[in-house]
Structure 1
Amino acid sequence: MESLRSDVAACAGSARTGRPRATSRAVLERLGFELFAEQGFDGTTVDDIADVAGIGRRTFFRYFASKNDLVWGDFEAQLARLDALLAAAAPDTPMMDALREAVVEFNRFDPAVVPWHRQRMALILRVPTLQADSAVRYASWRALVTDFAARRLGRPASDMLPRLIGSTVLAACVAAYEQWLTDEDADLSALLDLAIRQLATGYGDLGLRA
């Protein structure tokens, strides 16, 4: 964390010499995560993050609507990416295969990003004060899968079957992430692939292994 804080301090020093402070969503995100690791999510305030970044509260809120929003990062952009992956699925690919391939690709990260993503998901899945916010975000994610299933099935998204597919695929992904967080050697892509394959079989083949 010291190297990142030093970089931010250098930017703050530049501001004092007449140049504007340089920051970004990514810098604030990393600083926030590191403070959460040191002080806990509930023990860290927006003011704490702003102080370390050398900015004011008002500037922080230009990047993120809240501390919770910082944890999720650019969620709207990520939703758009998942939507694009689903839209790009070949029409002749079976629905559950298309969903599995899109979800696995959506959750593929550069190795350098994985430690940060692991911390992000640990916060999202384990911090009680984030759960209400998480439910709203999950609903948006689930709606994309539900709509995709509805299109493939030729049914309204309000029908039970597309809703069931959206909800169970989300549950499978959450289960895969929970397993990943308990095992640092686990491969996230393999766990997600396995979870959705198992779901697609209706648990008829319990011999599947990661």
Structure 2
Amino acid sequence: MTPSAEWKRIAPGLVIDGRRGEVAEGTVTGDGGADVRESRSRSGRARATTHGELSHLALRMFVERGFERTTVDEIAAAAGIGRRTLFRYFPSKNDLAWGEFDDMLARFRVVLASLPTDIPVREALRRAVIAFNTFPSEEVPFHRQRMWLLLNVPTLVAHSTLRYAAWRQVIAEYVASRSGDAPDALRPQSVAWACLGVCLATYERWLREEDADLTALLDESFRRTGAVFGGDRG
């Protein structure tokens, strides 16, 4: 089964070949903060103007053509921008699949830091992970597409270890701040790994059930496995 056929089976509501997710014209910020006005390319395609638009375009191409068979040059051409401009947004092809992960990770830290300190750690983690995985309705199909690629494309699976490590570190640092342990101590690291396992298992189920709500599944998963994360103090 081709990647495109498999994706259509998992998320038939996503329009891959139509206009949904099409990039739009606007302004791109170049080196030194200078604004580079982007108009339509010679082919008439509207140029990509944001990290999100570029990532959406790349996701669609990865699904249609296969990740390994899609080149950075092809993505840049489809976006109506140059290769160098594309790399100002994303340092590698692998990073295109992850979208705005660094910004999401920063928000994840903020959410955890803003939670009351008198709630159990397991409850804080449940709330924060659900917030991390809450997207506008128009973004959900792209997130499904992204997670399918990250969990099924060998190159991306390998690259994901770096991203997962960064995500786990946020969890470990929060748990350490609540428990008094060092972030690299066994307890914070074990909780971080457990959180990742819960999320990955939930993502896989979500991808199998096209009508499932990710946040509802995560809520169920964390409530069912709450004992893994300890008592009221942690």
Establish whether TM, by shorter chain, passes 0.5.
Answer: yes
| 1:189/1:120 CA distance change after superposition, 3 Å | same
Q: Tell me the residue number matched to 1:34.
A: 60
Which residue number corresponds to residue 206 of structure 1? none
Percent identity over the alignment?
46
Q: Which runs of 5+ in 2 are unaligned?
A: 1-16, 26-37, 230-234
| 8 Å CA contact 2:24, 2:48 repeated in 1 | no
Aligned with residue 140 of structure 2, among 104, 114, 125: 114
| Contact kept? 1:176, 1:191, Cα under 8 Å | yes
TM-score (norm 2): 0.78
> Which residue identity lines up with residue 166 of structure 1 in the other structure?
A
Alignment of 1:45-64 (within 5 A): 45-64=71-90
State whether residues 5 and 53 of structure 1, in contact with CA within 8 Å, keep that contact through their aligned partners in structure 2: no
Distance of aligned partners of 1:85 and 1:5 in 2 relative to their CA distance in 1, 3 Å threshold: closer
Structure that is richer in helix per residue: 1
Q: SS of 2:40's equivalent? A: helix
| Equivalent position amino acid for 1:48 in 2 | E
Q: How far apart, CA to CA, are the structure 1 residues paired with 2:23 and 2:182?
A: 54
Structure 1 outlier segments of 4+, above 6 Å:
none
Please give the TM-score of this superposition, normalised by the length of structure 1.
0.87
Whole-Å separation in 2 of the counterparts to 1:182 and 1:114: 15
Q: What are the superposed Cα offsets for residues 118-158 of structure 1, whole Å, 9 maximum, x if unpaired?
A: 00111111111112210000000001101111111111112
Unaligned runs of 5+ in 1: 16-20, 204-210
**Could you say which residue in structure 2 is the equivalent of 1:182?**
208
The answer for the alignment partner of 2:129 in structure 1 is: 103
Cross-structure match for 2:104: 78
CA offset at residue 197 of structure 1? 1.7
Q: Distance in 2 between matches of 1:149 and 1:69?
A: 28
Q: CA deviation at 1:23?
A: 2.6
1:22: how far off? 6.1
The yes-or-no answer on 1:201 pairing with 2:230 is no
- Separation in 2 of the partners of 1:167 and 1:122? 21
Number of residue-to-residue matches in the alignment? 198
Once residues 14 and 46 of structure 1 are traced to their aligned partners in structure 2, the CA distance between those partners, rounded to angstroms, is: 18
- Counterpart of 2:124, as a letter, is A
The range that moved more, 22-31 or 190-199, is 22-31
Which residue number in structure 2 is paired with residue 11 of structure 1? 40
Select the residue among 142, 156, 171 that pairs with 2:182. 156
Following TM superposition, by how much is the alpha carbon of 1:24 offset from its aligned partner in structure 2, in angstroms? 2.5
Task: Out of 3-12 and 170-179, give the one that drifted further.
Answer: 3-12
Q: Does 1:127 align with 2:156?
A: no
Distance 2:128 2:18 in 1: 37
Distance of 2:24 and 2:129 partners within structure 1: 35
